Chain A
């Protein structure tokens, strides 16, 4: 059933979807390996949901190919869908069902062998923190619990790929943290695609990020690469007995110094030259009273805003 680690679980090429004259998704390429969490990021109407609907077989693409664990979704939809778990934007819950009944139905529909259905339901309930809610009616659950049931039905059959469309919308901060740690945990065994427009969420849980804008992928890289390339280009420096700005700017490798407050400075380095160590050494030698030195990361938010605004100017 499961492929070896590192094998591609989802492979989409040239995925295109038109609605009449409007093209919602324009030739997206997408690849996901086992154990990876991919963040799908974009402003509203960027084509995130459309892409996910195509990946889960809810919407037929106008062009392109989708492979789920080597099975063509368009050629053999039933076999391919058995390997996907999908939580849409609105969790598709039957209000008149109890949590147990609903998850059992989900397990049966996803062709879990009859003898293992009970066990599968219990496992997914435990993973989603629903162990004591089995007899509750879905219609009476709070938003947070409904979201958990939505995730539980997506993982009940142990799919290779879990696709979550904005899983933390409408939850309180405590619930958001729980869902995020659940997603991280899922990333260990399954591949996860997560769509969101909450940027810290992607930084917190994803290995890779793809930013969508007007149906195009405008950025795609690993979070680690993002941090490497963007981080360390500036530091926030705190000095009790600061020298003049010119003295600081004279240190080799420093491009610019900007005083945030009398004791706090933002120091920009020259490209590809991390002067943190030199700065610390100078501060110690001259007794400037160094009390803080912290790298300023260019966050995903900056990248996102840059990329999406850039597009609009075009």
Chain B
């Protein structure tokens, strides 16, 4: 049932021009930044060779490209996810799903999986670019896998956040702006609060705050370090936001 709903969401995404615009925009921007970095890398390569243990192409070109992708997703995911629930409420189509023999959990997970599948398509396209270099040079596949995992988990957390905000309003645009605000707030909180707590030697609150700073958790993975706590934090954030969405929709049935 989850996949039926996910399929419906994917179909709705591809029926709107927004998905195609976002796909095109991301691909053009990332291809440009990737080729630009590759060009720079080729120019400094002669000097790199003289170093004792020089950084490779994966470290200098591929990882920064993924970081750019993460920054673009910060804007793109709220736009892609804004319609998920808000538009169904505005068009009064939520009844269609709510009267079908599916649970609220299945509806929420289905919508999440639909958006996440679309984001995985974007991440797949981003990963395809460095893989194309694999024929000509030795790539650090471990680092590539780590950074792709990081981006996927980050996308999952972003998707869950925009799904939750979409469940709070009946206006898709408000949902998009709201979700962007939430992601930005989490970003700033992770930067400032996390660091200052750690500076005051309060490790437990700092560790707790880390759950709500997805970009902070992406950093170690982007460097090829599979930090278990960071992975758990990203998964926990996505799960928390999905649980909140289920609660919100269930509450709507009770409140009316």
Contacts and interface: CB of A to CB of B under 8 A. Distances in A.
A7 interface: no
A94 B256 contact: no
Contacts of B95: 58, 86, 88, 92
A88 B91 CA distance: 12
Given A59-B253, A79-B101, A81-B101, A92 B4 contact: no
B256 A17 contact: yes
B12 A78 contact: no
- Kindly name the residue among B8, B96, B99 whose own CB sees the greatest number of chain A CB atoms within 10 A: B99
Interface in A86-124: 86, 88, 90, 92-97, 101, 105-106, 108-111
A80 B92 CA distance: 22
Contact of B99 (A84, A96, A97): A84
B11 A97 contact: yes
Contact of B256 (A19, A77, A108, A110): A19
Interface residues of A, number: 33
Most buried by A among B1, B16, B97, B101: B101
A210 interface: no
Nearest to A56: B99
Contacts of A58: 95, 98-99, 253
B35 interface: no
A16 interface: no
Interface of B is mostly: helix
A40 to B, nearest CB: 17
Nearest to B251: A60
A90 B92 contact: yes
A110 B101 CA distance: 6
A88 B88 CA distance: 14
B64 to A, nearest CB: 37
A45 to B, nearest CB: 14
Interface string B35-55: 000000000000000000000
A57 B98 contact: yes
A251 B93 CA distance: 63
Nearest to B8: A105
Contacts of A97: 11-12, 15
Interface of A: 17, 19, 50, 53, 56-60, 77-82, 84, 86, 88, 90, 92-97, 101, 105-106, 108-111, 153
